[in-house]
Structure 1
Amino acid sequence: MTDKTIKPYTAKQEKFGAWLISCIGRWQVKVYEWTGGRLWNKFLGAPVAILTTVGRKSGLVRKVPLLYLMHGDSVVMTASKGGMSKLPVWYHNVKASPEVTIQVGNQKKRYRMREANEQEEVQLWPQLEKMYPDYREYRLRTADVRRIPVLIFDPLN
């Protein structure tokens, strides 16, 4: 696949993709938590953590499996949603309430989210793409539609 053949998803592709991500995500959270992160802790070779947020409208606890990159004591995640045109719901939740819990393996810790600045983003994207090469495609797919935010979760003491 070349850069010129990567185009935004159609509305139909996004509807199916969002449904699939949601279904698999719910199962992955359950399995991950039941096994203390021993199972379903990878996606296509990249590490997975469980992000717990509070719904900005519902006030309910929301959990989502996401790829992550450790950067010192901080956790780095992207709001890529598989290269779809809209930001994921969890992104809006964490923007509204930036204190979250992240489970890596059997360890749960509290973090505060902040968006990477331009310099941090330039530094982190190559590391993110090395960890999960499809991030490159996601950026190309969304280039004319939206920016994929890079989020840094700093530990709370």
Structure 2
Amino acid sequence: MSNEHKSVERNSAPRVPPRWFVRTAWAVHRGIYRVTGGKVGLRRPRPHSWGTMRVTTTGRRTGYERSVILAYIEDGPNLVTMAMNGWSDGDPEWWLNLQAHPDATVELADGSRFVRAQRAVGDERERLWDSWRQIDRHLDEHAALRSTETALVVLEPRPEPRRLS
């Protein structure tokens, strides 16, 4: 490959599917999950690959439960995801909901758990970003498409809420 071609390749923007395609893929994924009763659509992370989980939040305006399927990696007992909104600007609704109501439930391929969300900052964010970078070598280029920093959301285990009798 010529040096000129390498220079052009390095400076070209990363390829991201059109927004309609991303939204359709999300809808299809959720549909498969629903139709199979949750038997298909979630998976554990593997070496050099992220997993998928279903996160149920409380709507910040409605108070209703809202669910979304997200990619995640594990960091000890914590689950880590990116609030990237398909690499578009703006925060995704689920992250806005978690900022207002940080307690949530996640469904994983091997069961569910109660979690509390927080934004990773400082050294923790850098360490976790590096972990994601090990999975996606184009992470920095994709993140550069957004005008604001992509939040890394840490979902820490929390005890099961008490039931009122």
* Interval of TM-score (by shorter of Structure 1 and Structure 2): 0.7 to 0.9
1:85 aligns with 2:86: no
Does the 8 Å CA contact 1:29/1:50 hold for their aligned counterparts? no
Partner of 1:148: 150
In structure 2, the residue corresponding to 1:93 is in which secondary structure?
helix
Alignment CA distance shift 1:23-1:155 (3 Å): same
What CA deviation, in whole Å up to 9, does each residue of 1:110-142 have, x standing for no partner? 111111011111101121122344533321222
In the TM superposition, 1:8-23 aligns within 5 A as 13-14=18-19, 16-17=20-21, 19-23=23-27
Number of residue pairs the alignment of both structures matches: 149
Does the 8 Å CA contact 1:46/1:132 hold for their aligned counterparts? no
Structure 1 CA distance for aligned equivalents of residues 134 and 35 of structure 2: 26
Identity value in percent? 19
More RCO (CA 8 Å, sep 6+): 1
Partner of 1:40: 41
TM-score (norm 2): 0.76
Partner of 2:3: none
In structure 1, the residue corresponding to 2:130 is in which secondary structure?
helix
In structure 1, the residue corresponding to 2:144 is in which secondary structure?
helix
Partner of 2:60: 56
Higher helix share: 1
What CA deviation, in whole Å up to 9, does each residue of 1:20-58 have, x standing for no partner? 2542343144257531xxx22359x53101111011112
Structure 2 CA distance for aligned equivalents of residues 96 and 134 of structure 1: 31
In structure 2, the residue corresponding to 1:124 is in which secondary structure?
helix
CA root-mean-square deviation: 2.8
TM-score (norm 1): 0.80
Does the 8 Å CA contact 2:54/2:69 hold for their aligned counterparts? yes
1:128 aligns with 2:132: yes
Alignment CA distance shift 1:151-1:26 (3 Å): same
Does the 8 Å CA contact 1:51/1:100 hold for their aligned counterparts? yes
Structure 1 unaligned segments of length 5 or more: list them.
none
Partner of 1:6: 13
1:96 aligns with 2:97: no
In structure 2, the residue corresponding to 1:147 is in which secondary structure?
coil
